Structure 1
Amino acid sequence: MEKQQLGKSDIYISRLTLGCMSLGTDRKHAKEIIDTALDRGINHLDTADLYDFGLNEEIIGEAIKDKRKDIILTTKAGNHFSKESKNWFWDPSKEYITEAVKNSLKRLKTDYIDFFMLHGGTINDPMDDTIEAMEELKQAGWIRAYGISSIRPNVIQKYIEKSSIDGVMMQYSLLDRRPEEEILEKLIAHNISVITRGSLAKGLLSVNYKENFIKKGEEGFLDYTGPELMNTLENIAEASEGIPLNEIAIKYVIKHPATTSVTIGASKREQVLENTRPDFTNGLPDTVYEKLKQITKSNVYKEHRS
């Protein structure tokens, strides 16, 4: 699978990223999913300390201990949690970020994290302290690069201005085109990579879109009403010229030059196989790309400012 440079770093990640949040707690089952992803050319695994209150990191650490050098590992922090009481609060302080990295390293059974992200953020955070923590962790060799996972354009803008982030993880899909209007060009201008999430829109942009619409889409999605959503999905399927909807969805966001990698979640290995089947070096034709833009809404950020 083709690999792309992550921002200005010396890290190269596969066009698809395995999002590990849905791996579950069965260690054998999780390892099967991870091994399938690696066998299919994915080299980038994304987790967070909050997932299953640290257990997700532990499971990944065990699954990759003999393959660490071949893997680009991302984790996230900022949610100060208790494994015992299973509650958490937002804490982007320098002290907590530094403590969180040390704890993640133990759970992941590694002595460095390739890409470390702040797991959220608000405009009122002590950003200078957070950035100072990230820079010191990078200088110490505990992390190789850092970034932020956020859908807040004002927060992302501040990190563009204040920090040397190499990547931003954000929600971006055919049904959620908000980043196109306000963020993506700015990130390109500063050589900051986009790692997308939610690009299959909870399975609405998949081969099972009709079934998933009944489960998850009848009340609508973002600024689509239920009827608008179904009509849009049918129009996308028609415009796809026989290409499976999941392939169309992934290739649509990859088409934008800001996108470095697309995160796919998986709770079973079959989902990994389905989403790695397409040849992503063969991009979406311009005619199909433009038609998809006409079919879908050019959404804008109305909230998520603070």
Structure 2
Amino acid sequence: MKYINLGDLEVSRIGLGAMGMSHGLTGAGTDDAESIRTVHRALDLGVTLIDTAEIYGPYTNENLLGQALKGRRDQVVLATKFGLIDHGGAGVWNLNSGPANIRAAVEGSLQRLGTDHIDLYYQHRVDPDTPIEETAGAVAELIAEGKVRHFGLSEAGPDTIRRAHAVHPVTAVQSEYSLWTRGLEERVLPVLRELGIGLVPFSPLGHGFLTGAVRDEAAFEEGDFRRGNPRFTGENFRRNMAIADEVQAIAADAGATPAQIALAWLLAQGDDIAPIPGTKRVARVEENTAADSVQLTSAQLERLAGLPPAVGDTHTEAGMRLLER
């Protein structure tokens, strides 16, 4: 495993997204023992960056990681997120990035994760009712107290990133970025590079679509966020299958798996990018981390760059309203 810097934070070139172990995907929460083995295997393979959030479950994913990391906390750059739960009464899926709410959120996350500090603390979604300067200032106070080490943003746009960074350095921005979701390249990525901020792509495998394993839109259980997702339904699903098929063809040519090709393409976009593919299976974490050694040829990179854009939004209409691009 190679290591890079997100700002001044050193992390493994490939991280691990833990959400699907407990939340949002078919089979989530059905095999915690395998999920814990997956975390341990990731650490054995040199993965250091592990990502969760209080909203995953809610709370159950942080509890799971707290169990998995007992005795191994010092091997991990532990990232979690706040802002999608209003601890003042409105509850889950209600934006609140006010200072008092951040205080309540961090104490709960520290307890569930079984740690005295969070290495990278992200605002999960931009809260239009709280000036980003207040949010950044609240996290800066937690950093001064030692409860948080680094400040991050998720799905934030250029203006928000600049304003937050002016209050306290932003270490990383987490956004969806993959072969079929490339919207941040024009406006967000240049700002990150100007300011020396790292990029952490989530869903780098297109929610599993780019692996070629998703062939039937009826395969998603109730509660799987892909069920009803515009890219995974109807004619959009069938048209997007051409993207997965082309990734599969390039994988066959390169002697790798489609997942490794999708990750290798991301790694080729710069040494300030650390994707966090999610999985709850040991075999998949082994496959994903091996992408670090895949070298794509210029011709293969050109073919991948020329893939057509995916058809359909990345989220439902309600989910799209939470994004700031």
Aligning the two structures, in what range does the TM-score lie when normalised by the shorter sequence? 0.7 to 0.9
Shift of 1:147: 0.6
* Structure 2 equivalent of residue 144 of structure 1: 149
Find the aligned partners of 1:160 and 1:41 in 2 and give their Cα distance.
Answer: 30
Find the aligned partners of 2:86 and 2:301 in 1 and give their Cα distance.
Answer: 42
Corresponding residue to 2:139 among 110, 134, 158: 134
Larger deviation, residues 98-107 vs 207-216:
207-216
* 3-state SS of paired residue (1:53): coil
Find the aligned partners of 2:112 and 2:227 in 1 and give their Cα distance.
Answer: 37
* Structure 2 equivalent of residue 260 of structure 1: 273
Shift of 1:142: 0.9
* Structure 2 equivalent of residue 295 of structure 1: 307
Provide the TM-score with structure 2 as the length reference. 0.82
Shift of 1:298: 9.2
Find the aligned partners of 1:219 and 1:65 in 2 and give their Cα distance.
Answer: 36
* Structure 2 equivalent of residue 185 of structure 1: 190
Corresponding residue to 1:34 among 36, 39, 42: 39
Question: Are 2:211 and 1:206 equivalent residues in the alignment?
Answer: yes
Matched to 2:183, the amino acid is R
Matched to 1:106, the amino acid is Q
Find the aligned partners of 1:283 and 1:72 in 2 and give their Cα distance.
Answer: 26
Taking only aligned residues, the RMSD between alpha carbons, in angstroms, comes to: 3.1
* 3-state SS of paired residue (2:263): helix
CA displacement 1:229-273 (0-9 Å, x = unmatched): 122332333344243211111011111126421111112222212
| Aligned residues of 2:18 and 2:278 also touching (Cα < 8 A) | yes
Corresponding residue to 2:199 among 176, 191, 194: 194
Corresponding residue to 2:243 among 232, 240, 251: 232
Question: Are 2:231 and 1:221 equivalent residues in the alignment?
Answer: yes
Distance of aligned partners of 1:230 and 1:178 in 2 relative to their CA distance in 1, 3 Å threshold: same
Shift of 1:207: 4.3
Distance of aligned partners of 1:229 and 1:153 in 2 relative to their CA distance in 1, 3 Å threshold: farther
CA displacement 1:124-153 (0-9 Å, x = unmatched): 532111111111111111111111111545
* Structure 2 equivalent of residue 171 of structure 1: 176
* 3-state SS of paired residue (2:173): strand
Structure 1 residue runs of 5 or longer lacking an equivalent are none
Larger deviation, residues 21-30 vs 43-52:
21-30
| Aligned residues of 1:119 and 1:149 also touching (Cα < 8 A) | yes
Aligned residues: 302
Distance of aligned partners of 1:217 and 1:249 in 2 relative to their CA distance in 1, 3 Å threshold: farther
Distance of aligned partners of 1:53 and 1:298 in 2 relative to their CA distance in 1, 3 Å threshold: closer
